[in-house]
Amino acid sequence: MMKKTLLLILVVSLFAPLAVMADSASGEIKPAPWSGDWWSRKKGFLIKGWPGHSPSPFEKYDAYVQSRTGRNPGTHAWESNIRNGHYNPKAENWEGHCNGWAAAAILTPEPRKRHIRNGIAFETADQKGILSEIYMNTYCKFYGNRYWGNANDDIDDIYPDEFHRLLSEYIASGKSAIICDTAYDRQVWNFPAFKFESSWTTGWFDSSKLKVKTTVYYVDDGVKPDFIGTKWFSTTYTYNLFLDGNGNIVDGEWTGASKKNHPDFVWVPTGDAPNPNGSNQENPCFDPKFVKEITDGPENRDFRGDDAFRSPDAVIMEAGLDPQDLF
């Protein structure tokens, strides 16, 4: 009996390091990006308003800027022009401002209160609509390659090792939510990912591979215009991460159902951008300065202030750093 026990201990101690190892990681961005309408091109809520909501967000914006400058900036007229491609009763059902909403939801605090500016009431839905328009173009970091269906496009991209690194780099470190095109094929569905839970095991007697299961939580845009808060949905992905002799991840592969259900590309917006030359992706009649006046600050304000000069060091201080210490 004693001999058998000793033998068992010997076998376990010899092979334990080679057996299954398990670990996990998670992360969450707080506050989460906000949910908002994706402003369908077909419905045209931004220029027509919706039942119980009139005037429309863009009519209010034009009225406000007119009160500031004496001139109508023409956002409503531009958006209403079908030739500009933003409002079109014949547009596809899925066409809208989802990328503008996703970027605004990451970069701006959620408008949760009515703001009255020069006597004009901007409800939360008005503010979200305007923000979703001006963030249609952003400067952003882009990861992976968009799948167009061309012969040399790799349908496995974005690779899971890069995707897992981005979840860790941005979400686990509390840096930022990231926007994923959740459709692995030609379709594009942009949703901000703000939370993940990941667990993994090595294979039996195989420490060169991690078998990973990761649930990613995405912010949903299937909400009414005046929705406040974060509605989310989740998707679980499975993949293998391959390790070199030093335990570094050097490669990866999607597994199971995730081979045909994984993100195509990831982007992280870092700031508003004007239209590229010859593009009308974004309504060019908006001025970010006036949008900021509407969405920032107290609930009620007659805006008469001048534009203050902001030095680069002011941004350093806003980040909680001290220029005196740094430089």
Partner 1 sequence: MRNKLRIFLLAAFTCLMLAGTLYANEGFVPKWNVGDRWVLEASYRDMRSPGEVWMPPLQWVFKVRSIKQIADQDCYVLHVYPKNSTLKVQAVLWLAVADLRPLRVIDIYPTNEGVKSSERDIDPSDPQPLLAEDTLVPYDLPVFPLVRASASVQNADGFAAYRSEPKEKKFAKVTKVGGLSFKRTIGQKNKAPEKQYADTFAAYRSAGASFQVELAEPRSNTSLIQLWQEGSPWAISSESVARKIRLLPPTPPTPLPQTGNGGDE
Q: Tokens at residue 200, please?
A: 């993994």
- If you write DSSP's letter for every residue of 88-112 in order, what string do you get? -TTS-TT-S-HHHHHHHHHHS----
Considering beta carbons, is residue 119 or 271 the nearer one to partner 1?
271
CA 162/CA 206 separation, integer angstroms: 22
Write the DSSP symbol of residue 184: S
Of 208, 200, 283, whose CA–CA distance to 237 is shortest? Answer: 200
* Span near partner 1 by CB under 8 A; candidates 38-46, 59-67, 138-146, 231-239: 138-146
Instruction: Say how many residues touch partner 1, by CB under 8 A.
Output: 73
* Span near partner 1 by CB under 8 A; candidates 41-49, 57-65, 72-80, 267-275: 267-275
Q: Which of residues 286-325 bind partner 1 (CB under 8 A)?
A: 288, 309-316, 318-321, 323
Count of Cβ atoms closer than 10 Å to residue 206 Cβ: 13
Considering beta carbons, is residue 35 or 56 the nearer one to partner 1?
35
Q: Which of 87, 267, 286, 290 binds partner 1 (CB under 8 A)?
A: 267
Pairing of strands 300-301, 115-117: parallel
Give yes or no for residue 27 binding partner 1 (CB under 8 A): yes
Of 203, 212, 205, whose CA–CA distance to 241 is shortest? Answer: 212
Q: Which of 1, 246, 298, 305 binds partner 1 (CB under 8 A)?
A: 246
CA 274/CA 267 separation, integer angstroms: 18
CB of 319 to partner 1, least distance (A): 4
Instruction: Kindly write out the interface string for residues 154-193 of this chain, putting x where it contacts partner 1 by CB under 8 A and - elsewhere.
Output: -----x-x--xx-xxxx-xx-xx----x------x-----
The amino acid occupying position 117 is: R
Count of Cβ atoms closer than 10 Å to residue 203 Cβ: 15
Give yes or no for residue 137 binding partner 1 (CB under 8 A): yes
Q: Which of 248, 298, 304, 306 binds partner 1 (CB under 8 A)?
A: 248
Q: Which of residues 49-108 bind partner 1 (CB under 8 A)?
A: 99, 105-108
Q: Tokens at residue 228, please?
A: 């406040």
Considering beta carbons, is residue 5 or 152 the nearer one to partner 1?
152
CA 153/CA 175 separation, integer angstroms: 30
Q: Which of 109, 119, 222, 256 binds partner 1 (CB under 8 A)?
A: 109
Give yes or no for residue 208 binding partner 1 (CB under 8 A): no
Considering beta carbons, is residue 8 or 186 the nearer one to partner 1?
186
